[in-house]
């Protein structure tokens, strides 16, 4: 029984431990999963931003790429004028009148002789200069100065440490070389090695990769007129035809275009190569931030070749606007709980609650986009919540299981104890049966074989036989009553009668047995009116109490047993007092349990079944009463049985134990 319980407990506790372990690990895995998923969200947002920025820049570059080369001059002759027309219209460049065009700032053209022209060169030649014209003029001058001071020296390779862009010289054109740019993949690799949460996002829109060289045919007359229109007209002729000035112009066109005049066809081929970025140091232009993101000013240049005339056209990248556009795009794609911070240059992942760093790699430089958690501890909080829930449930389950196991243990212990008691009871009953039977057989044999010669002896032996058979009857009566009560079959007959007389009859019945054992029984009846009681039950009570007194007080000096009755409130109290060893206080509750026999010396030496007092208690309870034990003076025990005999118990005549 215990073994099975122990195995069951071990299995249940092991299963619970397993559950705790599994729960703990699955919560950890969930935490990792949540972190992974969140990281995935950040990566997805970064990719969306990259795509959006790329799309915006692609559109911008497409516009710039398809911009006619003539837009970079201050005047131009439109393409679609009727062929053969003597006087061609000269129009102002659409770029004239402003410095910014989307992300482009201060468009310019470097002439074959190294001089710089811009669409706003001649703004000061107007007559009615407004304030904004003046501002534009100042900006145009400073832009030109910036190009001449910072870009041109780099193009000539005169600035130490600058990009090696020696494709242009005063003496002629050398083949165009790709600028040296950092491989995006290489950067990505470095970044990923440094930190898993930093990823490089290449944005190639501003590089020449992917763009195509355009080759277009232009009518020679238009081309020539266009070259000529580079010479600034008089202010009053700005939008007029300039045919007359064509002859006077001379200059670069005269020398270059004139030399090829005779053998050439009616059209010229215009070859426009893709834009490429050039980063140069310095710059104090308005569009330029104090500390540049890319470590210098970014110019986007394209090489335009018309026959043997080579031009460089380009503009400066408006970094402020670029940052603004990236911020716009980033704020559009932010998800719940996310924020961002753009930090040009250095990776600032270490500070604050940056969860993911997207390095927008433009090839010639990076912009670091730090994606942040607004509440960096939200995953931790959720996991803590989950943990508290889970472990609370486990604790409740554990408590329930422990309580269940404890009650199982207690039950099992009680069952085992009861089984043990029953075993003891069976052996006690067998013993109790055998002893009187042996005596009766012995006496009857002696009398039968006429071995008892004296008449007195014969009378004594007959008396002994009667006593032993009475003892047998008492025992059998007890066992039968107990069995009836156990099965709920015990029936009581409550009748009105004289309880003192009933008690006196039992005493008289027991007296010879007591006398033989050296005891004297005194009765002290109280005047009691009619009482309602079960005579058999009261008889059993008195017999059992007297039997016990005779058994356990056999060594007492005072071998007097007093049987008295009292009335106390609604109860009739029967007291049986002896002057034996008494019952120790700690056993006083237990002695009324079925089969209980203390291991005391006096009990071990006495035969018994542990049923007597249990039955007395049951009978008292059947009379709505109780039984208790108090100490007698100087020694001994007084058993007090209270019976509610004054209540009209007739009402529940024949009541069964089960109903009680
Ligand atoms: P049994 O007498 O068969 O052992 P009982 O139920 O009658 O069973 O008594 C239970 C126990 O109470 C006894 O074993 C004994 O130890 C104790 N007991 C009962 N009556 C007395 C008494 N008068 N004096 C001392 N001990 C007693």
Give me the phi and psi of 369, to 5 degrees please. -110, 110
pLDDT given at position 284: 55
Q: What is the pLDDT of residues 62-88, one digit of tens each?
A: 999 889 888 888 888 887 776 666 677
Highest-pLDDT range among 100-109, 171-180, 275-284, 612-621:
612-621
- Stretch among 69-83, 193-207, 210-224, 285-299 having the lowest mean pLDDT: 285-299
Give me the phi and psi of 159, to 5 degrees please. -90, 120
CB 219 within 8 A of CB 88: no
Kindly indicate the confidence band of residue 563, based on its pLDDT and cuts at 50, 70 and 90.
very high
Average per-residue pLDDT in the chain?
Answer: 80
Ligand 1 pocket test, candidate residues 421, 550, 576, 583, most atoms within 8 A of CB = 583
Bridge partners, 344 (sequence order): 367
Q: Taking Cα atoms as reference points, which of 348, 346, 281, 278 lies closest to residue 313?
A: 278
- Interval between CA 636 and ligand 1 midpoint (Å): 12
Distance CA 582, CA 554 (A): 12
CB 488 within 8 A of CB 657: yes
- Interval between CA 544 and ligand 1 midpoint (Å): 9
pLDDT given at position 445: 92
Q: What is the pLDDT of residues 130-140, one digit of tens each?
A: 777 788 888 88
CB neighbour burial string for 393-402, b if at least 16 within 10 angstroms, e if fewer: eeeeebeeee
Q: What percent of the chain has pLDDT over 90?
A: 31
Q: What is the pLDDT of residues 398-413, one digit of tens each?
A: 899 889 989 988 998 8
Of all protein residues, the one whose alpha carbon is nearest to atom 20 of ligand 1 is 548
Atom of ligand 1 nearest to the CA of 639: 23
pLDDT given at position 583: 93
Q: Is the pLDDT confidence value at 42 over 50?
A: yes
Q: What mean pLDDT is predicted for residues 100-120?
A: 86
Q: What is the pLDDT of residues 425-476, one digit of tens each?
A: 788 788 888 888 998 999 999 999 988 888 998 998 998 898 889 888 988 9
Kindly indicate the confidence band of residue 603, based on its pLDDT and cuts at 50, 70 and 90.
low
Instruction: Compare 174 and 597 and report the one with higher pLDDT.
Output: 597
- Interval between CA 225 and ligand 1 midpoint (Å): 140
Atom of ligand 1 nearest to the CA of 580: 24
Bridge partners, 309 (sequence order): 306
Residues in contact with ligand 1 (CB, 6 Å cut-off) = 548-549, 552, 578, 580-583, 591, 596-598, 603, 608-614, 637
Look up tokens 């290449």; give the residue: 202
Q: Which two tokens stand for residue 499?
A: 């309880």
pTM for the complete prediction? 0.57
Atom of ligand 1 nearest to the CA of 598: 16
Atom of ligand 1 nearest to the CA of 636: 24
Look up tokens 């008892």; give the residue: 452
Q: What is the pLDDT of residues 372-397, one digit of tens each?
A: 888 888 888 999 999 899 989 989 99
Q: What mean pLDDT is predicted for residues 337-358?
A: 73
Atom of ligand 1 nearest to the CA of 600: 16
């Amino acid at each position: 029984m215990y073994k099975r319980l122990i195995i069951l407990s071990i299995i249940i506790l092991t299963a619970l431990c397993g559950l705790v372990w599994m729960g703990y690990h699955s919560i950890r895995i969930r935490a990792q999963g949540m972190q992974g998923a969140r990281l995935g969200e950040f990566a997805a947002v970064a990719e969306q931003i990259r795509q959006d920025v790329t799309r915006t820049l692609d559109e911008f570059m497409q516009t710039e790429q398809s911009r006619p080369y003539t837009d970079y001059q201050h005047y131009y002759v439109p393409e679609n004028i009727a062929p053969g027309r003597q006087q061609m219209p000269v129009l102002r460049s659409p770029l004239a009148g402003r410095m910014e065009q989307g992300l482009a700032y201060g468009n310019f053209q470097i002439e074959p002789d190294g001089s710089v022209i811009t669409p706003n060169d001649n703004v000061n030649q107007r007559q009615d200069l407004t304030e904004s014209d003046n501002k534009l003029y100042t900006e145009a001058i400073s832009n030109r100065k910036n190009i001449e001071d910072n870009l041109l020296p780099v193009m000539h390779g005169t600035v130490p440490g600058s990009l090696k862009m020696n494709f242009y010289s005063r003496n002629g054109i050398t083949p165009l070389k790709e600028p040296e740019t950092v491989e995006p993949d290489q950067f990505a690799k470095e970044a990923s090695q440094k930190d898993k949460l930093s990823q490089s996002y290449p944005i190639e829109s501003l590089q020449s990769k992917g763009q195509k060289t355009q080759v277009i045919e232009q009518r020679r007359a238009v081309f020539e007129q266009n070259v000529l229109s580079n010479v600034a007209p008089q202010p009053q002729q700005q939008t007029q035809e300039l045919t007359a000035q064509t002859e006077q112009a001379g200059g670069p066109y005269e020398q270059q275009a004139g030399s090829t005049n005779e053998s050439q066809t009616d059209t010229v081929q215009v070859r426009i190569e893709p834009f490429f970025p050039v980063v140069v140091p310095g710059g104090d232009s308005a569009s330029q931030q104090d500390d540049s993101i890319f470590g210098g000013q970014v110019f986007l240049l394209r090489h335009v070749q018309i026959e043997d005339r080579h031009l460089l056209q380009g503009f400066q990248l408006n970094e402020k606007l670029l940052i603004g556009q990236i911020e716009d795009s980033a704020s559009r794609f932010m998800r719940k709980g996310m924020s961002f911070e753009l930090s040009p240059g250095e990776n600032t992942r270490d500070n604050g609650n940056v969860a993911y760093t997207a390095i927008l790699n433009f090839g010639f430089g990076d912009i670091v986009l730090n994606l942040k958690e607004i509440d960096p501890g939200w995953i931790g909080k959720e996991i803590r919540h989950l943990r508290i829930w889970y472990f609370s449930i486990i604790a409740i389950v554990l408590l329930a299981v422990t309580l269940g196991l404890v009650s199982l243990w207690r039950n099992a212990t009680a069952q085992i104890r009861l089984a043990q008691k029953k075993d003891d009871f069976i052996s006690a009953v067998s013993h109790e049966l055998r002893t009187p039977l042996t005596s009766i057989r012995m006496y009857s044999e002696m009398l039968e074989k006429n071995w008892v010669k004296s008449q007195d002896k014969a009378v004594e032996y007959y008396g002994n036989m009667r006593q032993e058979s009475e003892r047998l009857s008492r025992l059998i009566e007890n066992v039968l009553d107990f069995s009836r009560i156990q099965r709920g079959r015990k029936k009581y007959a409550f009748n009105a009668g004289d309880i003192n007389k009933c008690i006196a009859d039992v005493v008289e019945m027991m007296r010879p047995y007591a006398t033989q054992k050296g005891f004297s029984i005194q009765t002290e009846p109280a005047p009691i009116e009619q009482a309602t009681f079960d005579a058999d039950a009261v008889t059993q009570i008195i017999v059992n109490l007297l039997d016990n007194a005779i058994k356990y007080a056999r060594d007492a000096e005072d071998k007097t047993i007093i049987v008295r009755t009292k009335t106390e409130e609604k109860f009739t109290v029967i007291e049986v007092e002896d002057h034996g060893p008494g019952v120790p206080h700690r056993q006083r509750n237990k002695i009324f349990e079925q089969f209980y026999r203390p291991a005391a010396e006096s009990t071990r030496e006495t035969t018994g079944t542990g049923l007597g007092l249990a039955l007395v208690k049951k009978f008292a309870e059947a009379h709505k009463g109780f039984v208790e034990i108090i100490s007698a003076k100087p020694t001994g025990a007084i058993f007090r049985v209270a019976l509610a005999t004054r209540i009209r118990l007739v009402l529940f005549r024949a009541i069964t134990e089960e109903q009680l």
